[in-house]
Chain A
Amino acid sequence: MMKRCKEQGEGIRSVAGLSFYFAYILAFLFEGQVLYSLLKMHGANVGGHVLTSMVAHFAGLLTAGLIAASLLSPRQVIKGSMIVCLVATLPFCFPPTYLWSVSLVLGGYASGCGVASWGYYLRRHVPKGKRIGACADVLILSNVIMIALNVVAANVSAPLGLFLAMLCIVISLAFFRGQAGSGTSMPPSASLRVHESTLRKSLALLCLFIFVITINSGLMYQVINPAFQHLTGLVSWYWALPYIVALIIMRNLSVRFSKAKVLYLGMVMIVASFIAFMIVGRRASDYLVVDTLMLGACGIFDLFWWSILGEMLDYTDNPVFVWGVGLSANVGGVLLGGVLGTVLTTLRIGGAEVAVIALTVMFLTLILLPVLNKQLVSLLESHTYLMAYDSLNRQEQTDVLGHDAMYVGLTVREQEVLALLLQGKSNRDIAESLFITESTVKTHVGNILAKYGVKSRVELFSSMLKDFISL
């Protein structure tokens, strides 16, 4: 009981800590209003600085897993990144010099590493069923704080907004002070590793999905937002509101409610927002319509992939890598969308063409979604069956195999390979255990699948275990 309360407390602290840190990133480093206001105040090059920061952030997310695996612990990475961000923000208290660019590179990279490292805390301190709630809480809280910072920066004073952003880092550091997390790696939960190739495929597919769909976010930043920039006051506080509302609704959806339907609703909302942008004017009421549709959809998708990534953390011994790579796909998509939007703006291409591009992106997403769904279901089903088999005692496991008519038709070597497959081992692990080559293992696995008349390991597990294990 005491241990559970302690874990819950650690979970809440890590959520609160990341919320303040993320708010700083959203308000400043990552195309934030605070950064925009400061750059405009000093007449500096907005586009170049923003792009620099985003590219550095992308690089940080992508490489954090390597740092966490070999050099520093996740705790050291996240706290170090906050200190670097704090120091990197100081030059912005003074007029612009080359230090601004250097600081954005350092701060962007460090913040990317810091956000990626939170994957470790999410895995360690938040139980699997509660991760979607934790992710929603971080996104909601960070956006609420970001709105406050944006309002101050846009309507009161940019330097004051900067000071408050720095205060957010200090508060975040206080939350992470004393947090556990000195280990550099973590074994997969329940001592079971889902096949690495399955995890890699699922992660790659999810990243592709995220990348494609966030191209629209980038388009939004470069095409839609500038069209309404004359509504500074409204934009500064309303911009993220539909995003927060969507997150709150998604967070509190009943478990029985089909989340797949919500995803399709999100796609419809994005399409509708671009069509609306094409048709409506540039008044405040028009902005409310376009922004509500677009940011509401963004909220749905952001929580979707944050929660999927959160589930995947159990299948790896480097959660920083999985979390970082997944979120880097998000940033990558925004970057590409931003570049695309800049090109369209330079070429003075109108709303209709932008809507067509957005629709094309949505079409690609629709193709990807069933494939992604199948791969993720395969990953989760595979894990579920293997977990259930692992929970049986040795005699029960022997009975499962003994009652299987097809098992008798396997050669001794094939039976050995099957036993290791049921332990969730990858081809490489099986090869090492049996002192044979990986291509030999692949051949044996192919023979086993063919003898059972199935096409994949998940179908194999299902065929062997479904009569014995109730899920």
Chain B
Amino acid sequence: MRIRDIRMRRNCKALHLVTSAGLALWAKRYSSAAAFAFCLGSIVSLVALIKCLVLLYDARLIVDNPVLTVCPAHVYQKDQKQCGGAETIVVSTFGILAGEKAYLWGRKPGGCRLMAAKLEGHVLSLVFGDGKSTMRADVLHGLKGQEEVAGVREKLWRETGVDLTVRDG
């Protein structure tokens, strides 16, 4: 999912909130039950909006600090390469953005941090967690050649302090 899509979702949720709040105020005159229902709807919209705002902030932070951007499919038109419309995956200083899911790290010491990064064959494995529990994300990196690998390795070290281990797979 792109930032634009998250923004649209945010705008929809904001509109939903305003509509529910307006309807709650309007319904107050006629029926308490209806007003209460719309009020509940407003609260749900508000919670959803807040979650969307947090996702947007996190997504923005990830997208602004890319280490590696992976496009699952490429479409070529007149020798110009374009992303095939499928969701882009962004590996960043502060996490991974895959679709509408953002996995964050490096936001605060003691919190979730990137622990290890390994490149084996076509797969880039990233292990992150807070010490109590860990997760692993495997990404088809699409890197071609040692130069690109070295570039990602250098960027990853610079931004996160984690060294990329490269194994021929």
Q: Which residues of A contact B (CB under 8 A)?
A: 410-413, 436-437, 439-440, 443, 446-447, 450-451
Contact = CB atoms under 8 A, between A and B. Distances in A.
B60 to A, nearest CB: 7
A411 B160 contact: yes
Nearest to B157: A412
B20 interface: no
A411 B109 contact: no
Nearest to B162: A411
Contacts of A447: 106-109
Interface in B111-145: none
B86 to A, nearest CB: 26
B60, B157, B158: residue with the most chain A Cβ atoms closer than 10 Å: B158
Contacts of A412: 157-159, 161
B94 A413 contact: no
A446 B108 contact: yes
B44 to A, nearest CB: 28
B46 interface: no
Interface of B: 57, 60-61, 64-65, 93-94, 106-110, 157-161
B147 to A, nearest CB: 20
Nearest to A414: B161
B112 to A, nearest CB: 12
Given A447-B108, A447-B109, A440 B61 contact: yes
B64 A440 contact: yes
Nearest to A453: B109
A411 B158 contact: yes
27 contacts: A410-B161, A411-B158, A411-B159, A411-B160, A411-B161, A412-B157, A412-B158, A412-B161, A413-B93, A413-B158, A413-B159, A436-B64, A437-B60, A437-B64, A439-B57, A439-B61, A439-B64, A440-B64, A440-B93, A443-B94, A446-B107, A446-B108, A447-B106, A447-B107, A447-B108, A447-B109, A450-B110
A93 B65 CA distance: 69
Given A412-B157, A413-B93, A450 B108 contact: yes
Contacts of B106: 443, 447
A443 B61 CA distance: 9
B60, B65, B110: residue with the most chain A Cβ atoms closer than 10 Å: B65
A443 B64 CA distance: 12
Contacts of B157: 412
- 6 cross-chain pairs, A with B, having the tightest CB-CB distances, nearest first: A411-B161, A412-B158, A437-B64, A450-B109, A413-B159, A451-B109
Contact of B60 (A411, A439, A446, A451): A439
Given A412-B159, A412-B161, 8 more contacts: A410-B161, A411-B158, A436-B65, A440-B61, A440-B65, A447-B107, A447-B109, A450-B110
